[in-house]
Chain A
Amino acid sequence: MALVRHVVPVLFSGLLCAVQLGAQDQTGAVTGKVIDATTQQALPSVEVAIAGSPNRMLTRTDGSFLLSGLAAGIHRLRATRIGYSPQLQDITITPGGTVTANITLVPAAAILEAVVVTGYGTQRREAITGSVSTIDGNAANVGVVNNVNNMVQGRAAGVTIIQNNGEPGAGAQVRIRGGTSISASNEPLYVIDGVPINNAPTEPGGFGVGGEPPLPRSPLNLINPSDVASITILKDAAATAIYGSRAANGVVLIETKKGSNAVGGGAGVEYDGYVAMASASKHLDVLNGDQYRLFATGQVGVWRSDSTSACTARPTVCQNFFKDSVAGKLGGLSPSHLAALGQLVKTGPNPGDTARIVYNTNWENELERTAVTHNHNLSFAGGGEDTRYRASLNFMNQEGVAISNAFQRVQGRLNATHNAFDNRLRLGLNVTTSHTKNDYITFESTAGFEGGVFQNVAIFNPTQPVRVTDPTSGQQTYYELLGQTSVRNPVALANQITDIGQTTRTLGNATAELDLVRGLTAQVNVGVDRSDGFRNIYLPKASPVGASFGGLARQSSLDNTTVTLQTLLTLRRQLGDIHSLDVVGGYEFSKFNTGNLTTQGQGYVTDALLFNSPGAAQTITDFSGRELSRQVAFFGRANYGLRDRYFLTGVLRYDGSSRFAVGHKWALFPAVSGSWRISEEPFMRDHGFSELRLRAGYGLQGNPGVPPYSSLLTLNPDPGARYPFGGVPVSGVIPTRDANPTLKWEQTAQFNVALDYGFLNNRVSGSVEYYVKNTSDLLLQVSNAQPAFASERLTNVGKVRNKGLEISVDALALSRPNFTWRAGLVFAAERNRVVDLGPYSSIATGTVSGQGQSNVNAQRILPGQPIGTFFGPRFLRVNAQGQQVFACVAASAGCVNGESLSPTANDYTIIGNANPDFTLGLHSQVNWGKFDISFLIRASVGQDVFNNTALVFGTKSDALQDKNFLVSALTDPTGIHEPAIYSSRWVEGASFVRLQNLTVEYRLDVPLLSGSARSARLYVSADNLFVLTGYSGLDPEVSNLASGLNPSAGLQARSIDYLSYPRPRTITGGLRLTF
């Protein structure tokens, strides 16, 4: 330390000629102690600062502080801490003297930091004019939090986070103020410690038995939630415009813990670990073996009774089936279906010595398990006045509730800061590296037509066993049905297919901040983000899936490198008590480089090699690619404050991206906003408001969510464009993309007005916000006027409007020495409307899954309607013949009295809306003696969900192919021979209330520990304890998967529920120790 403090100035003194160190003036100091008004206990980690100057420090463990080198005169001392109302106190400094100031902090309703990270710097909370939500890392880190996204869920108004499914390590859909883009990305921009993160998949896609794409993992899997100090969400244009072109979907700023605020300054060690048990919270409820056997035999009985008369009446059509004599429709099952029940085994030497063993297999139980997760964090922090560090380690192993499925993370992080030249030069370094390992199973979203374990759980005949003894070898093998299409033993699928994804990602950034003159700071920030992802897959010959390829091995890699450079100049001036000025100007350059390489082999002699030797295959295919892009920006933000009452902010950002067409690569994104702290006005004094502030803002944001080269005409050697001349395939090179010389940013103009309030000394506080977002020049795949190389190209057309109301209330309901109760409520209502679709009258989206559902779409994007509008025939009833009857218009064929059995396109109408009327989040913390009790409840009201699972498995027709179905179909009147037809019948209301988390924490007084441990806390936590809903499917909360390669881009489809990986119910027990 001494070395830095003394040698560095010497080294630089030749360069920095007039360096003057140390204070020669007549100065004084202030010392004192901060205590909690309720408990009268000392408060550590309180920031004590001289208003309008950077002179500040954090109180020590005993609540004490000392600020020295203060000029003589009157100063305003400000004490702020998360969870307390800030306190101001005037002090008078005399030359050479030390004054004492003791400060008492009153707990506040909301846990708010005084200084908010707002992008390229921080702002005082009072000065913020945009819409910003902040979440305290420690307060939100309860229960099984394996991803930072979990910490935001239900805690910020207008932020919707839906886990894609219950798979460990699964990604989540994050929407800030709704999705505004129809086909470009709707994901927010993530900024970790000031460096924007490239939110691109880090792991190569799976093979998918049938070729379906996998769901991408969240980029935040990289971060250990315990390292998060705070999360700031920038919602409106005034707040996000500083991020310009990448900000249309909002910005999530994550600040990680620094050495200084780990444990109140001094060195400390923290350990935090938990063990969790998870199991599926709800089951599909398909027939068990006994139920299926009863059903099948019953249907065969029906068949027999109908047959005689029918065959007499219509002999020509009675060759191998029988007709129902009344309706001319088939009834029941032919007796041959009895052969599909169980196994015929030999019981004696004679040919007739056989018996049928009908098994009673619960495939869901066979596939699922009680999964164990354990997680360990160890961190230590320390340092002195000038150099501080914090290091942390995390290990997490999470089992999936489905067998053969797990997520593992090992992560390390180092943060170091150093101050030199009397705190005028501040250096910082953050390095995070993580290794994640996913053990995948092939489920619906990743597995395609026949690889899905959950589909097979639903359909696999429950009268069949999981394993049989192979008569030739005498060994136990998985039982597989022969001669069945797309029906595989799900237990075998899970166990036999190897699919492992591993990613190593390192994120490093270094900053140097130098105070040039008073209030003027220059900063350079360099960040590197590198990820290497590998995916290894083997489909063995032992599995019927792999057998069709003779064994298939695949090794693929995906690398991403992002380099970011920022240079910033910040000017902060407080001119007396009247004017304050806060200006940031800067430049940012980012370079993205991503490449992939895949080797795939088919046809192996043995399964022994797994994926390790693709080269041993009969046929090998390789594919690879690389993409580069760059982004450049110049930006500035000025915040002017008058009398700490009126604030005005202006933002300008000039952004360039290589991904757009020549001449359209650059765009300007401005924003202006202002706020008025009404409560500071003299006339508002003593009106009960401790805080009342009006804010309004308007600005433009861009969406660059297009792949590189989107505007260029490119040609590709395409395997499908090969053509055999003389029997030998010649490689075909075809233009695959038409040039679009006018491709540019998708642009969102957002208007925001808000009222922040606080009364009863901020024991109740919150805000009410209203916004309107108009998105234009939508990036849409638009059909080309033919002839063209591709049927569609990315074009800027159309408009979408989002409007919304957000209300948040935080209250400190009770505050007693041994009992405090805080509660917070967030409410959001959003309305989305497609205003214009350019040349389109409508766009079909939301592919319906299942047999016989090719080219069927559940939703339409229609002008005048929200994105997520269900569109199809309106179901009326099931008639006496077991046929589905639909409403129709007179003009369509087969329409009698407004009813039709086979609806046509004319009869399709709007049959539902996937968007909720409103969402609610209620979080509460009770501190009672040594107990801390917290819970989080989320609710979503008014949305519809298309239960695709019920469409496919909710009627009996699967039994025609000896497949199982849902128990609910037993009482359903739909005939067994009726095809599954998408209609309003399968679109259900899906309002829900979910107890997301309940945690009870106890502070231990262990005599043995009290000597060494500063605190020890034990907790028990339950996640997803219950869901109240009328929805009949597995889970009413459905991720908005788009139809397209990347669920975060591609045409938006919302709320389609098809055999998703069940969300687990989890019980966690944990321990937090601080030494």
Chain B
Amino acid sequence: MTTSLVTKPIGAVGFRLLLLVTALLPLGCTNLDESPPSAITPANFYRNEGEVLSSLAGIYAQLRGTLDDYYNVSEISTDEMIVPTRGSDWYDGGQWLELHHQTWTPVSPVGNGFGNGIWVTAFTGIARANALLEVLPNLTFTSRDTVAAEVRTLRAFYYYFLMDTFGGVPIATTTQIQARPRATRDSVFRFIQAELTAARAVLPATWPAASNGRLTQGAVDAILASMYLNAAVFDKDVGVSPTTYNSCTTVTIGAQNACQAAIAAANSILNSSAGYQLADSFAQSFRANSASKENILVIKFAPVADIGLNFVMRSLHYNQYTPTPWNGFAILAETYNAFDAADHRRDAILQGAQYNVETGQPAKDRAGNPLVFTINIADETQATEGEGPRLYKWPADPKHVAQNNGNDYAWFRLGEILLIKAEAMNELTPGDPAALALLNQLRARPKQTVAPALAGPIARDLILQERRFELTGEAKRRQDLIRHGKYTQAWGYKPASAAFRMLLPIPQTQLDANPLLKQNPGY
């Protein structure tokens, strides 16, 4: 043993004191609970009507998301629209052409990109709705039950998008995150119908101006009318005909068939105390601040950052608007050429020599030539910047802030309700002249002759064509083509496709996340 300088004790008391201090320091420093100083937790929220309305706004806000992926799939996979590759622009891993060609798979940019977007957007809306519905019973404020009815309607509407795109999906009414199996498409259909019917009894026919844009009885009726018209598609997991019309007469809703139910729903809109009426001109309903009495269920937009409509960006040429648009979405020649030249509804499609939509000055392409939109696109994989007509149905809002325009987007407007009613009537009584009268009512608006009157006789194809003219670019085409048994036909740049394409695949991401999900047949 060696001795050293540090062999001497420093003192018993000092040592004990030091040990004590050392031992005491850890005490009281082991609390690891978290309470975020600048975030809200459920524990300190949902206390009054104002906070509930903020929560409600968040559920409505998710509606804007339906105009991205759901919109793209409903338009670009059809004979209405295409996004051609333009030089180095818009190739994007081939997703746009894959969408138009209907060659997606569960893992491809469309199947797992756009498809996943539709799935997540709708289900996020559903989750937010469930969260608010869970706390509402514990609260007391005057409008509580109306808010609850609104939330249920919103949730049902999000399920409507899922049912339309994927078929049956899991039905969840609680906030718990868990794997759930898919319900049958018919169960989802009946769930939506039951929810909407229950909510309708509580919802008002109209809101005061300060709440304009919130859901009404009319909105519920419009969703129901659309569901009933498509009932022969929506009520089955297998057996939807890819080649013949899927008629609403084949489905029973309560004591009547779905066509009758669709007519009844349309009639309650037509007879509503809300006083819906066709806009004076075709263009009016699409303008910013249109105050059109035709719109029934709208997504509200405002010329404010993050919450404006950006449709002008998607289609217009780089030099037609400020900020610089993206020069992408084009109308297919098939659709443009289908219009009667006298049909003013075609005026919403830009073709020929082009102008800046804000200044009215002639527009030039990026090489400095006069900008001309052609009708045809010679090669969808190598289009020039001027090829293809463009939809300009929602005109630029003079008050727009950057790309945010204040045009409301109507998921349902009276024009379509007339078409739904006409189609259902024609199913009940093929060639019904009263149905033809409804179509001609659309062509002769109060202050505008939109197009020459149709002579008839009315037929399914005539109605489908009229829907194309009236609803171009309103994200109805995919649903219409499927109902009419025409979605898998060849057109434009797309060869005929297999019947299973009428449903999108369940995205691989979702199959990974929820092992109880079963893939749609064919994928």
Contact = CB atoms under 8 A, between A and B. Distances in A.
A738 interface: yes
Interface string B30-43: 11111011111110
B8 interface: yes
Contact of B91 (A55, A731, A979): A979
A103 to B, nearest CB: 19
B10 interface: yes
Contacts of B212: 725-727
Interface in B285-306: 289, 300-302, 304-306
Contact of A732 (B17, B54, B384): B54
A422 B58 contact: no
Contacts of B3: 25, 71
B22 A569 contact: yes
Given A16-B14, A71-B3, A725-B210, A522 B22 contact: yes
B126 interface: yes
B179 A786 contact: no
Given A729-B302, A841-B512, A16 B10 contact: yes
Interface in B386-430: 386, 402
Contacts of A624: 38
B490 to A, nearest CB: 14
The interface centre, meaning the residue of A12, A17, A524, A979 with most chain B CB atoms within 10 A of its CB, is: A979
Contacts of B318: 483, 485
Interface stretch (B97-105, B230-238, B433-441): B97-105
A422 B4 CA distance: 12
Interface string B1-20: 11111111111111101100
A174 B30 CA distance: 31
Given A50-B4, A317-B376, A735-B131, A721 B58 contact: yes
B160 to A, nearest CB: 15
Contacts of B120: 786, 791
Interface stretch (A335-343, A933-941, A1030-1038): A335-343
B58 A587 contact: no
A319 B374 contact: yes
B325 to A, nearest CB: 9
Nearest to A782: B513
Contacts of B378: 314, 317, 321, 323, 328
Nearest to B366: A961
A485 B10 contact: no
A716 B39 contact: yes
A355 interface: no
B45 A715 contact: yes
A210 interface: no
Nearest to A20: B8
Contacts of B62: 721
A734 interface: yes
Given A15-B13, A714-B39, A961-B87, A786 B127 contact: yes
Contact of A783 (B128, B213, B374, B509): B509
B51 interface: yes
A889 to B, nearest CB: 12
Contact of A50 (B2, B10, B31, B98): B2
A787 interface: yes
Given A17-B11, A714-B36, A785-B179, A320 B386 contact: yes
A423 interface: yes
Nearest to A734: B58
B397 to A, nearest CB: 12
B93 A71 contact: no
Contacts of B210: 725-726, 728
A905 B109 contact: yes
A424 interface: yes
Interface stretch (A131-139, A607-615, A846-854): A846-854
Contacts of A25: 3
B328 to A, nearest CB: 11
B61 A721 contact: yes
A714 B40 contact: yes
B6 A424 contact: yes
A532 interface: no
Contact of A320 (B208, B322, B384, B515): B384
Interface stretch (A285-293, A628-636, A924-932, A1060-1068): A628-636
A166 B496 CA distance: 54
Contacts of B319: 483
B7 A724 contact: no
Interface string A509-525: 00000111111001010
A978 B384 CA distance: 12
Interface in A899-922: 901-906
Interface in A933-970: 952, 957-958, 960-962
Nearest to A632: B30
Contacts of A632: 26, 29-30, 32
A334 B369 contact: yes
Given A339-B368, A715-B40, A735-B131, A787 B91 contact: no
A784 interface: yes
B165 interface: no
B435 to A, nearest CB: 36
A980 interface: yes
A720 interface: yes
A786 B60 contact: no
A515 B6 contact: yes
Contacts of B5: 23, 53-55, 69, 422-423
A88 interface: no
A567 B25 contact: yes
A893 interface: yes
B457 interface: no
Contact of A589 (B29, B127, B177, B305): B29
Given A483-B319, A516-B10, A565-B25, A783 B510 contact: yes
A15 B98 contact: no
B249 interface: no
A588 to B, nearest CB: 9
A717 B54 contact: yes
Nearest to B3: A71
Interface string B344-384: 00000000000000000000111111001010101101101
B133 to A, nearest CB: 12
B94 interface: yes
B300 A723 contact: yes
B41 A726 contact: no
A548 B305 CA distance: 13
Nearest to A662: B33
A363 to B, nearest CB: 19
A625 B366 CA distance: 44
Contacts of A424: 6, 10
Nearest to A515: B6
A722 B8 contact: no
B271 interface: no
A18 B11 contact: yes
Interface stretch (A386-394, A705-713, A807-815, A1001-1009): A705-713
A19 B364 contact: no
A658 interface: yes
A787 B124 CA distance: 6
A75 B2 CA distance: 8
Contacts of A902: 94, 97, 381
Interface string A1-28: 0000000000010011111100101000
Given A50-B4, A855-B95, 9 more contacts: A15-B13, A19-B10, A314-B378, A665-B32, A724-B304, A727-B300, A852-B92, A902-B97, A962-B367
For the complex of A and B, the 9 pairs showing the least CB-CB separation, nearest first, are A786-B123, A783-B513, A734-B58, A732-B58, A71-B3, A785-B514, A856-B93, A852-B91, A787-B127
26 contacts: A12-B14, A18-B9, A54-B5, A321-B386, A522-B18, A524-B22, A589-B25, A630-B31, A632-B30, A656-B32, A665-B32, A712-B36, A715-B42, A719-B306, A721-B62, A723-B58, A727-B212, A730-B54, A786-B124, A787-B126, A788-B123, A791-B120, A793-B177, A853-B92, A902-B97, A980-B88
